[in-house]
Amino acid sequence: MTTTTRASDTKVGGRLYTDWRMDLTDGADNANSFNVTRTYVDVKSKISGQVSVRFTLDLRKINGFEGYNTIVKYGYLAWRPDFVKDHAQLRFGLQPTPYIDQANKLWGRRYLAKTPSDKYKFLTSSDLGADVYIALGEKSKYGTVGIGVFNGTSYTDVTDKNKQKDISTYLQLNPFVNTPDLSRSQLVAQYYFGTQNVTIDSTMDAGDYDRQLASVSGLLDYRHTVAAGFDLNFLSLGQGMGVPDLSKTAHSFFGTLYLSGLAPDQVVLNTMNLFGRVDLIDPNTDVANDGSTLVIVGAECNMVKGFKMAVNYRSLSFEDSTKNTKSYLYVNWLVKI
């Protein structure tokens, strides 16, 4: 007798990132516009007790196309073998890059801005490959460790231009899991290495085009009243035979003050927080005065589940004195279903 297993648990969700932006830079004449920066449609299905799948569509603007286009962001199978069901998971397909995925959670406002390694193109947020995650403690109580093999391409350009593969090692820890006041705190690290996605012919050595990325981030959260975090990224890129490697850094420091902790009886304040973030970017550590600093300060409101709004001011300044500082006023919205 043949038994057919059907999807018993399928969930469909989505997220919408939209904003209004005004350019306050000198000479911009307060130019402003409404924008949809991202729309995700997310389908998760549990096929059996061991196997589940995820499929995510990403609606976004693409250079050279005047409207919005739809591409696949995620499309992967996750397998939890019975003999390690509560301790390990294997993934195959187009899947989240683990470090960026977790760093977004620490920052907590992906709808407002990407994390540094994603925003400044140090690493893609989704790639084709296979990896394994191992839980540290029951239900990852103490954290997770992972290792994966990826094409080293991107979900926006899946063409693999050489035979080399990239290796991703990942660690996430909950250092204060037994301390209630600090239980939300985390520490995350990765070491990612491989070959850049360039064509390697018979006259070239893949080792001359290597890519190495070391990252560490963390969040210290006290009673969900005040939180401070960081995200440090160090990238090295081979430039070819006989040419020195290119070294880049992208560091971010951020914090949140939750007003609910200051006035728990005030209904409106219970939904609000104040936040700030500073990014320090150096596109070439061997060149002086080529860096930039991004500052974001604002207030966020989460009045109902699945809806957030943030009013924020942004300033982008440059070490090069010939470049003028850019400044913007943003109102960002997140809708999640």
User: In the block, which residue shows the tokens 């992972």?
Assistant: 146
Going by C-alpha positions, the residue among 58, 73, 211, 91 that lies closest to residue 154 is: 73
Q: What is the rounded distance in angstroms from the CA atom of residue 28 to the CA atom of residue 307? A: 31
The helix/strand/coil state of 5 is: coil
Specify whether the CB–CB gap between 315 and 327 falls below 8 A. yes
Helix (H) or strand (E) holding 99: helix 98-107
Quote the strand ranges of the chain, DSSP E: 9-23, 32-46, 51-61, 68-79, 88-96, 126-136, 143-150, 166-173, 186-195, 210-222, 226-237, 246-258, 272-282, 292-304, 307-318, 326-336
Burial grade of 63 (CB within 10 A; 0-12, 13-18, 19 or more) = exposed
The strand pair at 143-150 and 126-136 is best described as antiparallel
**Which residues is 32 bridged to in the sheet?**
22
Helix (H) or strand (E) holding 70: strand 68-79
Cα angle for residues 141, 147, 153 (degrees, 5° grid): 130
Q: What is the DSSP letter of 245?
A: P
User: In the block, which residue shows the tokens 């969700």?
Assistant: 13
CA 295 to chain centre: 18
What is the average pLDDT across 105-119?
97
Q: Is the pLDDT of residue 277 over 90?
A: yes
pLDDT digits (tens, 9 = 90+) for 222-246: 999 999 999 999 999 999 999 999 9
User: In the block, which residue shows the tokens 């549990």?
Assistant: 46
The residues, any chain, with a CB within 8 Å of residue 35's CB and separated by 6 or more, are 18, 19, 20, 21
The residues, any chain, with a CB within 8 Å of residue 323's CB and separated by 6 or more, are none
pLDDT digits (tens, 9 = 90+) for 130-179: 999 999 999 899 999 999 999 999 999 999 999 999 999 999 999 999 99
| pLDDT at 78 (0 to 100) | 97
Going by C-alpha positions, the residue among 291, 287, 333, 329 that lies closest to residue 310 is: 333
pLDDT digits (tens, 9 = 90+) for 182-209: 999 999 999 999 999 999 998 899 999 9
Q: Is the pLDDT of residue 69 over 50?
A: yes
Query: Rg of the chain's alpha carbons, rounded to an integer?
Result: 22
| pLDDT at 5 (0 to 100) | 45
Going by C-alpha positions, the residue among 211, 284, 204, 215 that lies closest to residue 246 is: 284
Q: What is the rounded distance in angstroms from the CA atom of residue 99 to the CA atom of residue 43? A: 22
The pTM (predicted TM-score) of the whole model is 0.93
Q: Is the pLDDT of residue 98 over 70?
A: yes
Q: Is the pLDDT of residue 1 over 70?
A: no
Specify whether the CB–CB gap between 298 and 275 falls below 8 A. yes
Q: Which domains does the chain have, with CATH numbers?
A: 9-336 (2.40.160.10)
For 206-229, the three-class secondary structure string (H helix, E strand, C coil) is HHHHEEEEEEEEEEEEECCCEEEE
Q: What is the rounded distance in angstroms from the CA atom of residue 129 to the CA atom of residue 118? A: 18
